[in-house]
Chains A and B, each alone.
Chain A
Amino acid sequence: MNTFYLHSALSFIAAYLITHRDPPPLPYNAFTAAFVFLSIFWMLWLTTYFYNRVYFRKMPKVIAFGAFFIKELIVANLKIAFDIVTPHFYMRPTVIAFPLAAKTDLEITLLSCIISLTPGTLSIDVSEDKEVLYIHALYVKGNDIEHLKHKIKDGFERPLLELTS
């Protein structure tokens, strides 16, 4: 994690210095700045192979998780939009009790934020012993609660625990 912050700061400063040079070597716009930032970040990531193997292996997983999250966000919105604009309600709201494998506060916060932003689910409350997360779900196919729990556990909780551990 510290390596990530350090690399972000280094590549930001380098990109700033390159794009703000007095006779600018590159055209001053956002795409070149982002390109310079990403290429410097990529080169720094390649060097971590020699001194920080864990970070080297985690970075592709972070990118894959981010892409999966954005895909789920757009799919969730289209699903709810379809339900809103058609006159019939297809939803079957259910409150499910989701057993948490995440223990620390940071993991629980991240998990409930991600759950609130993805398919038709809204986290309501955590029980006092931090064992159970109550989720309000809109779409439960055929009242199959276990299927939804498995989906959340395999899709969001397991990758998140792998990343934060």
Chain B
Amino acid sequence: MLQDYELQVIKEVVSCVLILGGVTFMFIATIGLLRFPDFYTRMSAITKGSSLGVGLILIGLGIYFNQPDIMLKVLAIIAFTFITAPVAAHVIARTAVRNRSPFWSKTNLKEFKPYLDKEHLEKVKNHDMYRAEAEAQVEQKPNGGGDT
């Protein structure tokens, strides 16, 4: 009886630690989504933060319930998350490049120039309304002094 009680406490403590760690990573990723200067840095911040956060929370849940079938479901969710998150990030980043989403003013684009020239991404004039907004922001940034 005493042993069962102690096992319950150990499970709860381990689960608490894992859940708090996961929630912290998710919160940091969200702040990064709000703070970072351009689209690509935001993307690379949240891909890692959210997948690791969800993984930690779900492992905490599996350890708390401690049943084989729930552990199997948890491992399935983690596998789906870790397969789909980078694929989604890749597709969204490629769409952003094709849509001429602006880079941060400090980005070193030297090796990316041939790709942009080949795809005519700098020259084609675009009548998209989002493009006008984005260009206005890029012009404002040097005046504002940036974020350094």
Contact = CB atoms under 8 A, between A and B. Distances in A.
The answer to whether A and B touch directly, with their CB atoms under 8 angstroms apart, is: yes
Interface of A: 15, 19, 28-31, 33-34, 73-74, 76-77, 80-81, 84-85, 88-89, 91-97, 112-114, 116-118, 120-125, 127, 134, 136, 138, 140, 143, 145
Given A29-B68, A74-B52, A122 B44 contact: yes
Given A73-B52, A89-B148, A123-B90, A136 B44 contact: yes
Given A84-B32, A91-B41, A97-B111, A116 B147 contact: no
B45 interface: yes
A116 B89 contact: yes
Interface in B49-94: 49, 51-52, 62-63, 65-68, 70-71, 82-83, 85-87, 89-90, 93-94
Binding site secondary structure of chain B: helix
A94 to B, nearest CB: 4
B20 to A, nearest CB: 14
A16 to B, nearest CB: 8
B81 to A, nearest CB: 11
A93 B31 contact: no
Contacts of A95: 103, 107-109, 111-112
